[in-house]
Amino acid sequence: MNINALNLNLFLVFQAVIEEGSTVGAAARLAVTQSAVSNALARLRHAVGDPLFVRSGRSLVPTPRALEIHPLVADAIGKLQGVLGSTFDPRTTTRTFTIAGADHHQAADLPRVAHAVARALPRAALRIVSIDYLISSDGLAKGTVDAALAPDGSATNGLHETPLFRERSGLFVRAGHPVLRARASLARLAELGHIDVHITLGEPGDVNRAVRGKLLDLGFDRRIAVVVPSFTTAAMIAARTDYVAWLPDHAGRLFGALLGLRTLRTPLAGFEVGCSLLERTQADRGAAFFRELVVRALGRGKSVERRSRTDRSKQIG
């Protein structure tokens, strides 16, 4: 294939299709028509000598050849963005910045990031994706996700981590829960049915195992009654049952205000939260600006803990 005869914009279309899984999604992302995306794919298929995508239901599934070249294409596009980043202007850029976070960060933290983006990057777009998307797409490594909120220490090779804040955690129950009527020991509390949240970061179950290890260190071996994939689901179940939900404190306060949950103040350990990004994107002025914006919006320093100011908490000793 003679690259001199090839329109390099075709690779932008290829990357959009492989990440969106459809020509419709790619067209919306690139702000072009679906037919323009289809035509670009046809030209690239001819140049590469491979169908690149096959249809499966309503989605387009990449061929082995497409999966082989995708990391190379993503890396090349990332490097070009880094070069062009020298002319980055936050007031005029129309770039889309993508950040990943678990559901409690989406509810309690990322609205502040959205507010900061609206003020500092008025023509840019903010895209928020789930941790599931981050893992399944390998978004940080491929450069399709600019930053991710995650527990400190979860970053892998090739990623840079900036500490943001120390997050306390608490146990939350519905208003009127029997445990609120009298002081209860940790041993008594451990006997209640607990809602366990399984979030995947790194190896499956890493976060859950880390939390369970900290609880066991305190002699708090919970009886698990329900396992859920999100903190939002845990809060919703706790509001309608006598089960107990372990929640990050700031998200728990938000859910508590909406659902009438009460906090059981315990000596449970907190955890550090950081902002992770791909190390090679640090030379990209746009990516660097976005990272600094996230740190300003959310960072409180490693020594600062977010503390509940609610007067509805109950001490458990």
- The predicted structure's pLDDT at residue 202: 47
Which of 48-52, 55-59, 248-252, 266-270 shows the lowest per-residue confidence on average (mean pLDDT)? 266-270
- The predicted structure's pLDDT at residue 211: 58
Angle, in degrees to the nearest 10, between helices 285-298 and 110-120: 130
pTM of the model as a whole:
0.64
Does the domain formed by 1-87 have CATH 1.10.10.10?
Answer: yes
pLDDT at 113 > cutoff 50? yes
Contact between 139 and 98 (Cβ < 8 Å): yes
- The predicted structure's pLDDT at residue 232: 92
- What share of the chain has pLDDT > 90, as a percent? 23
- Can you tell me the distance from the alpha carbon of 54 to that of 120, in angstroms, rounded to the nearest whole number? 41
- The predicted structure's pLDDT at residue 253: 85
Instruction: Write the pLDDT tens digit of every residue in 150-176.
Output: 876 555 555 777 888 887 778 899 998
- The predicted structure's pLDDT at residue 301: 44
pLDDT at 178 > cutoff 70? yes
How is the chain split into domains, by residue range?
Answer: 1-87, 168-270+310-315
pLDDT at 81 > cutoff 90? no
Just give the CATH number of 168-270+310-315.
3.40.190.10
- The predicted structure's pLDDT at residue 281: 62
- Can you tell me the distance from the alpha carbon of 266 to that of 289, in angstroms, rounded to the nearest whole number? 38
Who has greater pLDDT, 195 or 285?
195
- The predicted structure's pLDDT at residue 205: 45
- What share of the chain has pLDDT > 70, as a percent? 77
- The predicted structure's pLDDT at residue 294: 92
- The predicted structure's pLDDT at residue 138: 77
- Can you tell me the distance from the alpha carbon of 116 to that of 221, in angstroms, rounded to the nearest whole number? 41
DSSP the chain: --GGGS-THHHHHHHHHHHHSSHHHHHHHHTS-HHHHHHHHHHHHHHHTS--EEEETTEEEEPHHHHHHHHHHHHHHHHHHHHHGGG--TTT---EEEEE--HHHHHHTHHHHHHHHHHH-TT-EEEEE-HHHHHHHTHHHHTS--EEEEETT---TTEEEEEEEEEPEEEEEETT-GGGSS---HHHHHHSEEEEE---SSSTTHHHHHHHHHHHHTT---EEEEEES-HHHHHHHHHHSS-EEEEEHHHHHHHHHHHTEEEEE-----EEEEEEEEGGGGG-HHHHHHHHHHHHHH---TT-EE----S--EE--
